[in-house]
Structure 1
Amino acid sequence: MKLDCQEGKEMARTESSEITADAFLRHIRDYRIIPESSLNRALANAPSGATAKALATHLLDSKLLTRFQGARLLQGQGPSLRLGQYLLLEEIGKGGMGRVFRAEHSTMGRVVALKILSSDLVNSPRAKEFFFRERRAASQLTHPNIVTAFDANEVAGAHFLVMEMVEGPNLEKLVRERGPLPYQVACEYVRQVATGLDHAFEQGMVHRDIKPSNILLKSETEPGKAGLVKISDFGLARLAPIRAENAGSNHGTIMVDENTIIGTPDYLAPEQAKSLHQADIRSDIYSLGCTLFYLVTGRVPYPGTKGLEKIIKHSTDAIPKPSSLVPGIPPEVDALVAKMMAKDPAARFQNPKEAAIAITSAMGVEDATSVPVALAIPQVEANPFEAFQSTWNEAIVTPFEDKPSTTPSRAPKGPVPKAVFTHGQALAIAIVALAMVASAMVFALRYLVG
């Protein structure tokens, strides 16, 4: 099955290799591109003796074909439009992991996002086994801030994932088109991602490639207000070391070249750049801190021209302050970035829930701009930003002087309840306490005298 043609080309570019009208229609019928009844109605109004190109244009105007489908059909590539029960409608993205298509399930009529993985990601039995194992784990993640995984399969050598279709842009594209986001909106998006990561963490999963392009905006109330975001590509990042091993590299070294790395250099935690075995949920928190920096400034924390250069900067350079690039960003945001991007994993938030709580505390109720999400973030007694809120100084690390654990920890399940008493109850308790003290003194005197 060939999936590497130039889908985005205009249909006119296919004129030199155009198939006959009969072959064009045969592919439509054989691969069930258009329902037979709809096709017959459209053909009844088509020009007599029309060429394949004319038929494609007519069906495109009738909204029965997409331009992507028309181009492939004219090139005789009708088989490439169908993967099992899924009909490809159009290409919506591509990258190092593969290509993403809008597709439709033939029986259910559900429109989905279908990702066809690059062949070098699944080119060994071990890689294939890992692919399906990771997808089974990812399918168990049900959370409003995680893209739902519906299916994973292999058809004619093509490995593909079927996921919830999110119509909005990813956050990298959003920032490219609109510029840096208001810090309140950016913090709300990062908080939502943290709640999604926490759900995955509770299921024993980490992402390993958190970045703006893997965060999709599902809905937005209006520009300048936060909508609902979802994390994509859970369970895919770890296919990279398998690809590196197949290339003959040491599995303990994750970087072979700029295309074989677990994670993305602009958002990669220092420990993750050294060894897969050192990466854990705190590495995702580091990447989330880099993401927050990008959302509020429109640039990555450590710019560079080569991946290795960026990785070195993550390990050696000082953590930049967003406020040094964008006036008006409050010190709380600087502190969040500094905490999440600490070089030492033990100095970061130890799990995503801690990060979400800190963001909620930093922004305050008056700054809330979010739409409701299903997972509520409980308040806890310890407020990581308490010192900051009381002094409003310029320190970055001061609000986080508590000693973190050296391994990722589960966040507290909820707030510690406070005992609340009326004045009468308090007085009664005091009287009882005094009576107990008096009784103890009498007992002691009797013991000494006797």
Structure 2
Amino acid sequence: MAPESDLYTGRPSDLVGRRIAGYRIEREIGRGGMAVVYRARDLRLERTVALKLLAPELARNDTFRQRFTHESRVAAAIDHPHIVPVFEAGETDGVLYIAMRYVAGRDLRALLDQEGPLPVATAARIAAQVASALDAAHEHDLVHRDVKPGNVLVAPGTDSDHPEHVYLTDFGLTKKSLSLTGFTTVGQFVGTLDYVAPEQISGRPVDGRCDVYSLACVVYETMAGTPPFQRDDDMALLWAHQYDPPPALTERRPDIAAGVDAVMAKALAKIPDDRYDSCLAFVAALRAAASGAGPGGHPPTQVDLRVIGAPEPPTPPPGPPEWARPVFPGAG
């Protein structure tokens, strides 16, 4: 018979109806290489939650367990309207788990698969909410490191001015933690390659500007329909992130203002120092460029000289009357 912990990452039906750490599993809602997410019922507070169960081998690494506990507490302490709240994180029967708010709706991956490239206004609204969440995390010294459409949840908004409410999820399980477990051994890279920053690939230190790069990749995809870099194999894709210039967004969306290309190029710069200092700064520049505004965020100002009292240019003197103008033979 398989060990008890093997059930946690087995077939979806294996856990339905089972009780784990005070939660009753209802159905699987997501699966990745290192975790499975279930919709579950909190039996103590009678509420629906999203319960993430990490792969059993992660719990066997003491360093990972300590960092997981620390980062889960940091994530739970962030009170932000666009970050999925973490209710509880712990360990049961040798398996690490995180209980989070259950968000009804779909993730950005599903939205793009169903609807294709989004209108610029919609893409900008979603990007602004994700950027706000990321900058809030950065203020707590927490770098996400895995910003991708699958980690952006899109729920119904409150009114026509706010048609969607976006949540960023998967805090408390950062790639820095996973790199301590052996998941980043040769031939295996933890993360989503379409959105990974160059400094993550090369193993250099990362900060919030790593998330700026990944967010820019996501924003590019929301408007172009594909990530900025597409290659036939993983190694070529990793090379492209590190060395190839991103294709101009306007090549794929000619309807977008040309100034957006410069904004995207800066956000996707290979060197962190060349990028925007924050995610919100990137989105602000994106919105200004998309609206045709100048570098300062304002459209060009039209000045009426009569209003400000400046002298108007003199009216040129009238020319000679029609009958006095010379006639050149052959001119017509």
**TM-score bracket for the superposition, by shorter chain length:** 0.7 to 0.9
3-state SS in 2 of match to 1:273: helix
Higher RCO (CA < 8 A, seq sep 6+)? 2
Aligned to 1:57: none
Once residues 115 and 178 of structure 1 are traced to their aligned partners in structure 2, the CA distance between those partners, rounded to angstroms, is: 28
3-state SS in 1 of match to 2:180: helix
1:257 to 174, 182, 187: 187
Higher alpha-carbon Rg: 1
Q: Which amino acid aligns with 1:6?
A: R
Once residues 385 and 96 of structure 1 are traced to their aligned partners in structure 2, the CA distance between those partners, rounded to angstroms, is: 43
2:229 to 283, 286, 302: 302
8 A Cα contact 1:273 1:311, kept in partner: yes
Q: Which amino acid aligns with 2:128?
A: R
Once residues 235 and 161 of structure 2 are traced to their aligned partners in structure 1, the CA distance between those partners, rounded to angstroms, is: 35
1:270 to 187, 198, 204: 198
Aligned to 2:212: 285
Whether 1:106 aligns to 2:43 is: yes
CA shift for structure 1 position 107:
2.1
CA shift for structure 1 position 384:
7.4
Whether 1:175 aligns to 2:102 is: no
2:11 to 6, 10, 14: 6
3-state SS in 1 of match to 2:227: coil
Aligned to 2:247: 320
Superposed, 1:335-374 pairs within 5 Å as 335-363=262-290
Change (3 A) 1:136 1:118: same
TM-score by length of 1: 0.61
Q: Which amino acid aligns with 1:152?
A: A
Change (3 A) 1:296 1:355: same
Once residues 255 and 189 of structure 1 are traced to their aligned partners in structure 2, the CA distance between those partners, rounded to angstroms, is: 35
Aligned to 2:70: 133
The structure that is helix-richer by fraction is 1
Once residues 61 and 133 of structure 2 are traced to their aligned partners in structure 1, the CA distance between those partners, rounded to angstroms, is: 31
Once residues 384 and 198 of structure 1 are traced to their aligned partners in structure 2, the CA distance between those partners, rounded to angstroms, is: 25
Once residues 233 and 219 of structure 2 are traced to their aligned partners in structure 1, the CA distance between those partners, rounded to angstroms, is: 22
3-state SS in 1 of match to 2:181: helix
CA shift for structure 1 position 226:
4.7
Aligned to 2:88: 151
CA shift for structure 1 position 323:
1.5
Deviations 1:333-356 (A, max 9, x none): 323321210112111101223224
Once residues 291 and 150 of structure 1 are traced to their aligned partners in structure 2, the CA distance between those partners, rounded to angstroms, is: 27
3-state SS in 1 of match to 2:77: coil
Once residues 139 and 197 of structure 2 are traced to their aligned partners in structure 1, the CA distance between those partners, rounded to angstroms, is: 21
Aligned to 1:385: 295
Once residues 351 and 153 of structure 1 are traced to their aligned partners in structure 2, the CA distance between those partners, rounded to angstroms, is: 32
CA shift for structure 1 position 223:
10
Once residues 62 and 252 of structure 2 are traced to their aligned partners in structure 1, the CA distance between those partners, rounded to angstroms, is: 48
Change (3 A) 1:349 1:196: same
Whether 1:163 aligns to 2:100 is: yes
8 A Cα contact 1:200 1:206, kept in partner: yes
How many aligned residue pairs are there?
A: 295
1:243 to 151, 174, 181: 181
CA shift for structure 1 position 222:
8.9
Q: Which amino acid aligns with 2:82?
A: N
CA shift for structure 1 position 133:
1.0
Aligned to 1:399: none
Once residues 173 and 255 of structure 1 are traced to their aligned partners in structure 2, the CA distance between those partners, rounded to angstroms, is: 31
3-state SS in 1 of match to 2:215: helix
Q: Which amino acid aligns with 2:186?
A: V
The structure that is strand-richer by fraction is 2
Once residues 187 and 110 of structure 2 are traced to their aligned partners in structure 1, the CA distance between those partners, rounded to angstroms, is: 25
**Percent identity over the alignment?**
33
3-state SS in 1 of match to 2:97: strand
| Alpha-carbon RMSD | 2.6
TM-score by length of 2: 0.81
Unaligned runs of 5+ in 2: 302-332
Once residues 179 and 86 of structure 1 are traced to their aligned partners in structure 2, the CA distance between those partners, rounded to angstroms, is: 36
Deviations 1:165-214 (A, max 9, x none): 11111111110111111111111111111111111111111111111111
Once residues 51 and 279 of structure 2 are traced to their aligned partners in structure 1, the CA distance between those partners, rounded to angstroms, is: 28
Once residues 273 and 234 of structure 1 are traced to their aligned partners in structure 2, the CA distance between those partners, rounded to angstroms, is: 20
Q: Which amino acid aligns with 2:239?
A: I
Moved over 3 A (4+): 220-226, 359-364, 386-391
Once residues 226 and 161 of structure 2 are traced to their aligned partners in structure 1, the CA distance between those partners, rounded to angstroms, is: 19
Aligned to 1:378: none
Unaligned runs of 5+ in 1: 8-67, 248-253, 368-382, 392-450
Deviations 1:407-428 (A, max 9, x none): xxxxxxxxxxxxxxxxxxxxxx
Once residues 264 and 81 of structure 2 are traced to their aligned partners in structure 1, the CA distance between those partners, rounded to angstroms, is: 24
CA shift for structure 1 position 123:
2.5
Deviations 1:380-419 (A, max 9, x none): xxx973389549xxxxxxxxxxxxxxxxxxxxxxxxxxxx
Whether 1:330 aligns to 2:257 is: yes
Once residues 290 and 196 of structure 1 are traced to their aligned partners in structure 2, the CA distance between those partners, rounded to angstroms, is: 17
